[in-house]
Amino acid sequence: MVIGDFLADTIYHYFFGAGKSLFVIFYLILSLKSGVVSTAFGSINLLVDLRLFLVIAMLLSLLGLARSVFQAINFMNEKASITVSL
């Protein structure tokens, strides 16, 4: 990933990580139509409830978002401690 290598060791690296997590959450909501998918094959109607999968995937994405936020805080803390010790 070229952008990830270019932005390594900068605060923007963590912003893109948080943005990626938010994108995954919104993409799952839009693509799974809030967790209930229905389709019809001739005279057969198929209804699949994927809300549990959607909740688990969103919680994992929120965990990734929290990880990115904490890494950004740690990065800024390390930058501040380096400038103070100089």
Tens of pLDDT, residue by residue, the chain (86 residues) = 576 677 778 888 888 889 999 999 899 888 887 788 888 988 999 988 888 988 999 999 999 999 999 999 999 898 887 776 65
Domains of the chain, residue spans? 15-75
23 exposure class (CB count in 10 Å sphere: 0-12, 13-18, 19+): exposed
What was the pLDDT predicted at 22?
92
The per-residue DSSP string of 43-54 comes to TEEEEEE-HHHH
Q: What three-state secondary structure class fits 69?
A: helix
Cα 68 from Cα 32, distance rounded (Å): 25
Tell me which residue has tokens 């400038």: 83
pTM of the model: 0.74
